[in-house]
């Protein structure tokens, strides 16, 4: 009972720091397609539940920030366009690229575009199974097919920012290339979700 509770706690979308990311070859010896697919998604979950992703995939309120996912400072809200409050959009502070601070350590993150993931794509606190179901559901994933989802994971610039987050932030595990390969292998094996 206690073990299953712990397992559930580990699987829920809490920050996942400093993990290596294995490529699809590491799962080749799992003969059952569905089991291999679910294992591939669980590996993808190391990226999906990393603070670089979770901070901008909240399920309520605005973004969090930092490796400990503390409240965003200054305080910001999601706003109607997932882009902050009227009068203080994300771009009030965030530019088209990361910018190192002048005179003190650290940097302010940036990318074009820079915005919160829509509320339907909120992941914080959700299990990998729930995140997987969300990602596959066109009603909640922005109308994406699985192929478009692969393209998003493998090539989208804002996703890629997770591996180039600027001074003072830990990158997501592995690389976008491996993440894209995992997504490809997950789709090709049936896009099964972890239970």
> Alpha carbon of 29 to those of 24, 37, 46, 49, 52: distances in Å?
10, 12, 20, 25, 30
For 3, other C-beta atoms within 10 Å of its C-beta total 7
Out of 65, 69, 83, 97, the only residue in the binding site for another protein (CB under 8 A) is 97
Using the minimum distance from each CB to another protein, give the nearer residue, 12 or 85. 85
**Per CB under 8 A, which region of 1-9, 96-104, 120-128, 144-152 contacts another protein?**
96-104
Distance of closest approach, residue 158 Cβ to another protein, in angstroms: 17
Give the chain's largest Cα–Cα span: 55
Binding mask 163-192 for another protein (x = CB under 8 A): ------------------------------
By CB under 8 A, which span of 16-24, 37-45, 100-108, 149-157 interacts with another protein?
A: 100-108
Touching another protein, residues 49-88 (CB under 8 A): 73-77, 85-88
Of 30, 13, 45, 21, nearest in space to 194 by CA = 45
Distance, in Å, from the CA atom of 71 to the CA atom of 5, rounded to the nearest integer, reads 27
| Count of residues engaged in binding another protein, rule: CB under 8 A | 23
Q: Which is nearer to another protein, 84 or 194 (CB)?
A: 84
Name which position in 29, 103, 139, 195 contacts another protein (CB under 8 A). Answer: 103
Residues near another protein (CB under 8 A): 73-77, 85-89, 91-93, 95-97, 99, 101-104, 106, 108
């Amino acid at each position: 009972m206690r073990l299953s509770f712990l397992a559930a706690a580990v699987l829920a979308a809490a920050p996942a720091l400093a993990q290596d990311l294995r490529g699809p070859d590491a799962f080749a010896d799992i003969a059952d397609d569905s089991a291999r697919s679910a294992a591939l998604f669980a590996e993808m979950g190391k990226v999906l539940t990393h603070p670089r992703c979770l901070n901008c995939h909240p399920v309520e309120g605005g973004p969090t920030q930092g490796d400990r996912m503390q409240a965003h400072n200054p305080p910001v809200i999601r706003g109607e366009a997932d882009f902050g409050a009227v009068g203080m959009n994300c771009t009030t502070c965030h530019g088209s690229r990361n910018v190192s601070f002048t005179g003190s350590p650290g940097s302010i993150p940036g990318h074009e575009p820079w915005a919160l993931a829509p509320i339907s794509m909120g992941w914080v606190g959700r299990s990998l199974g729930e995140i997987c179901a969300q990602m596959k559901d066109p009603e909640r994933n922005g109308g994406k097919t699985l192929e478009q989802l692969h393209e998003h994971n493998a090539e989208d610039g804002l996703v890629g920012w997770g591996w180039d987050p600027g001074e003072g932030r830990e990158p997501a595990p592995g690389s976008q290339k491996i993440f894209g390969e995992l997504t490809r292998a997950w789709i090709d094996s049936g896009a099964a979700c972890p239970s």
